[in-house]
């Protein structure tokens, strides 16, 4: 899942419904789920997009999706969505839909045929000629997709080859779908991938293995190794873009070795890609049913379960996601994502001791980073092991870059508050906001009036800031201001009883006399 930039938002033609039914859209995640237990924002903080923090920051979830502008004037308006995109983890990643700029990679030296010249010049090839030679065409297609990143040419070749095969070859259809997706033609991609899956089902048993799609071959190690996250109370972590897609491809490739070819169902990679297209079209239900259908046929594949768990997480259905993460762990005991998510779930459901064990497992596995140390520190602190917590935070600070340091300082301020040292907490918070002026949670906790206003403006997802500002306005007697603030607070967290009470009082004040 790519991060959607401003251009994606403005040029989105694939929107199915402006106002989706509750619980069917990623843009309005909390509408279907009851706000209770650990997923309630009072216990578990929200990401900028308004869903509970998971333990693992995934690309595409850092910034708000179109229509998620919870604090904006009119939800779903283009202006609001653009504002939200500008505010994301990487402001204004304005990547036009039609270029796959992220995939641009320099050709490695071994690939160059002549100094300075390209290995294969796809623009000059007569693709119809190659389409008639199936084996060469496959290799050529993969080269164009993964090395040249020339999706238009790949599409041309795949179309010609499909035609040559009489529209029966699932592999070419999957490549067509891939190329369409990269070009942003989601509906076409969906059609091709679904057709590819149908072909695979028909061919099942007859042709168990066919032209190994060598996705793994060209996936650079850079796409995978960006590590884990996990967050503490309010930390979030931006993984390298494309990590998920690449990891999914790798997982499916490795699992294929274990699966008996005769029993092999459809290719996992195709299923994952189709689900990705569904998600991009904001149809989480379709993606879930796809994962659900494929998972029983691929009992050894953690990728499908992880995919389904991610969707559940994004929809705010923490319990189902938890069950899936546990299944993933039983298949793949070193799945970093599953461990991190389980750890944060236990942390927010009041079992920091259990969370601590998961975090330690991650550390034992060799995963390291500011976020992980910070989370371990928090878990230590809430589990009462304060002597362990402070060294963890020291390590986190030593490992933190500019992106993570504000969150580490913020979490350290929580520890300071827990110890009762207000001046230390204040220093931590000041450091956090000096490093990141948009840290809404820190502004809220520093909380002077003007600061609260900054907090509200910078982080519409932080309901505490809105509520505090409303309460202050109410005490001051400025009911107009209070009404607007409390409205924003309730938009961020509809189940907040104190805000509801305040709104009731305000309405009574208006209707009095």
Partner 1 sequence: MKRCNATTATADAVADTAAWRIQESLRLFQQATALNPHNVLNLKQVGRSLALLGKHRQAVDVYQEAQKLSPDDWELWYSRGLCLSHLKDQQDSALECFGCANAIQPNDGTYIQIGQILAARDQLSAAIDNYGEALQQSPESPELLTALGLLLLRAGDSQRAFDQLGASLLHEPRGARAILAAGSIIQDHGDHDAALVKYRVAAVVEPHCPQLWNNIGMAFFGKQARRYIAAISCLSRALYLAPFEWLTAHNLGLAYLAAGQAASAFQHLSAAVNLKPDFAPSYMLLAVALERLQDPDNARAACERALQLDPREPLVHLNCAVMLHNQGDGAGAAARLAAFRELSAEPEEAARLAADPEVEEAAAALELALGQRG
Of residues 11, 17, 19, 43, which one binds partner 1 by CB under 8 A?
Answer: 43
Does position 163 interact with partner 1 (CB under 8 A)? The reply is no
Q: Which is nearer to partner 1, 172 or 474 (CB)?
A: 474
Does position 160 interact with partner 1 (CB under 8 A)? The reply is no
Question: How many other CB atoms sit within 10 Å of the CB of residue 193?
Answer: 28
Of residues 414, 444, 454, 468, which one binds partner 1 by CB under 8 A?
Answer: 414
Specify the stretch interacting with partner 1 by CB under 8 A; choose among 40-48, 172-180, 453-461, 463-471. 40-48
Does position 201 interact with partner 1 (CB under 8 A)? The reply is no
Does position 467 interact with partner 1 (CB under 8 A)? The reply is no
- Residue that is written with structure tokens 């799609």 in the block: 213
Does position 162 interact with partner 1 (CB under 8 A)? The reply is no
Does position 419 interact with partner 1 (CB under 8 A)? The reply is yes
341 sits in the region (left: phi over 0; alpha: psi -120 to 50; else beta) called alpha
Does position 10 interact with partner 1 (CB under 8 A)? The reply is no
Q: Work out how close the CB of 228 gets to partner 1 at its nearest, in angstroms, rounded to a whole number.
A: 24
Q: Work out how close the CB of 483 gets to partner 1 at its nearest, in angstroms, rounded to a whole number.
A: 5
Of residues 220, 261, 299, 350, which one binds partner 1 by CB under 8 A?
Answer: 350
Q: Which is nearer to partner 1, 96 or 418 (CB)?
A: 418
Of residues 421, 427, 438, 453, which one binds partner 1 by CB under 8 A?
Answer: 421
Does position 36 interact with partner 1 (CB under 8 A)? The reply is yes
Cβ contact 269:174 at 8 Å? yes
Does position 326 interact with partner 1 (CB under 8 A)? The reply is no
Close Cβ partners of 346 (under 8 Å, ≥ 6 residues apart)? 352, 354, 355, 358
Cβ contact 338:353 at 8 Å? no
Q: Which is nearer to partner 1, 146 or 479 (CB)?
A: 479
Of residues 202, 205, 478, 504, which one binds partner 1 by CB under 8 A?
Answer: 478
**How far is 32 from 312, CA to CA, in rounded Å?**
11
Q: How many residues bind partner 1 (CB under 8 A)?
A: 30
Does position 218 interact with partner 1 (CB under 8 A)? The reply is no
Does position 472 interact with partner 1 (CB under 8 A)? The reply is no
Does position 476 interact with partner 1 (CB under 8 A)? The reply is yes
Does position 391 interact with partner 1 (CB under 8 A)? The reply is no
User: First vs last Cα of the chain: how many Å apart?
Assistant: 55
Annotate 36-59 with b (16+ C-beta within 10 A) or e (fewer). Answer: eebbbbeebbbbbbbbbbbbbbbb
Does position 384 interact with partner 1 (CB under 8 A)? The reply is yes
Close Cβ partners of 241 (under 8 Å, ≥ 6 residues apart)? 2, 3, 59, 102
Cβ contact 468:452 at 8 Å? yes
Per-residue H/E/C for 414-480: HHHHHHCCHHHHHHHHHHHHHHCCCCHHHHHHHCCHHHHHHHHHHCCCCHHHHHHHHHHHHHHCCHH
Does position 477 interact with partner 1 (CB under 8 A)? The reply is yes
**How far is 436 from 438, CA to CA, in rounded Å?**
5
Does position 293 interact with partner 1 (CB under 8 A)? The reply is no
| Apex 502 CA angle, 501 and 506, nearest 5 | 120
Cβ contact 162:189 at 8 Å? no
Using CB under 8 A, which residues numbered 483 to 512 contact partner 1?
A: 483-484, 496-497, 509-510, 512
Cβ contact 214:142 at 8 Å? yes
Q: Work out how close the CB of 474 gets to partner 1 at its nearest, in angstroms, rounded to a whole number.
A: 10
Which residues contact partner 1 (rule: CB under 8 A)?
36, 40, 42-43, 350, 382, 384, 386, 414, 417-422, 473, 476-481, 483-484, 496-497, 509-510, 512-513
């Amino acid at each position: 899942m790519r991060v959607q930039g401003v251009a994606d938002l403005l040029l989105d033609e694939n929107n199915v419904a402006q106002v989706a039914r509750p619980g069917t859209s990623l843009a309005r995640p909390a509408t279907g789920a009851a706000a209770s237990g650990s997923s309630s924002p009072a216990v578990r903080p929200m990401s900028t997009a308004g869903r509970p923090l998971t333990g693992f920051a995934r690309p595409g979830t850092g910034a708000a999706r179109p229509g998620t502008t919870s604090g904006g004037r009119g939800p779903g308006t283009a202006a609001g969505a653009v504002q939200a995109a500008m505010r994301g983890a990487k402001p204004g990643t304005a990547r036009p839909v039609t270029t796959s700029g992220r995939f641009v990679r320099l050709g490695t030296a071994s690939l160059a045929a002549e100094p300075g010249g390209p290995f294969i010049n796809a623009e000059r090839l007569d693709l119809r000629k190659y389409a008639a030679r199936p084996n060469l065409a496959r290799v050529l297609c993969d080269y164009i997709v993964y090395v040249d990143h020339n999706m238009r040419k790949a599409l041309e070749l795949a179309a010609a080859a499909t035609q040559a095969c009489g529209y029966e070859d699932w592999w070419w259809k999957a490549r067509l779908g891939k190329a369409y997706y990269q070009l942003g033609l989601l509906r076409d991609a969906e059609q091709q991938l679904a057709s590819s899956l149908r072909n695979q089902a028909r061919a099942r048993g007859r042709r168990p293995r066919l032209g190994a799609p060598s996705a793994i071959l060209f996936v650079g190690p850079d796409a995978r190794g960006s590590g884990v996250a996990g967050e503490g109370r309010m930390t979030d972590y931006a993984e390298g873009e494309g990590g998920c897609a690449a990891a999914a491809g790798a997982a499916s490739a490795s699992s294929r070795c274990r699966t008996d070819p005769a029993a092999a169902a459809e290719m996992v990679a195709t299923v994952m890609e189709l689900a990705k297209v569904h998600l991009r079209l904001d149809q989480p239900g379709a993606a879930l049913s796809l994962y659900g259908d494929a998972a029983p046929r691929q009992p050894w594949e953690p990728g499908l379960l992880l995919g389904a768990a991610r969707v559940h997480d994004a929809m705010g259905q923490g319990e189902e996601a938890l069950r899936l993460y546990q299944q993933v762990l039983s298949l793949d005991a070193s799945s970093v994502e599953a461990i991190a998510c389980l750890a944060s779930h236990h942390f927010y459901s009041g079992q920091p001791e259990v969370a601590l064990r998961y975090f330690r497992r991650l550390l034992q596995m060799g995963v390291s980073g500011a976020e992980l140390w910070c989370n371990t520190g928090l878990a230590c602190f809430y589990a009462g092991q304060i002597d362990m917590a402070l060294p963890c935070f020291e390590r986190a600070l030593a490992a933190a870059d500019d992106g993570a340091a504000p969150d580490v300082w913020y979490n350290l301020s929580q520890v300071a508050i827990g110890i009762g040292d207000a001046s230390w907490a204040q220093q931590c918070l000041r450091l956090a906001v000096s490093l990141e002026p948009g840290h809404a949670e820190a502004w809220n906790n520093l909380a002077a009036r003007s600061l609260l206003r900054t907090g509200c403006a910078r982080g519409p997802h932080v309901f505490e800031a809105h509520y505090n500002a409303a309460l202050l306005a109410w005490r001051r007697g400025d009911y107009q201001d209070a009404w607007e603030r409390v409205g924003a607070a309730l938009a961020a967290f509809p189940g907040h009883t104190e805000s509801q009470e305040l709104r009731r009082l305000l309405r009574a004040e208006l209707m009095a006399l």
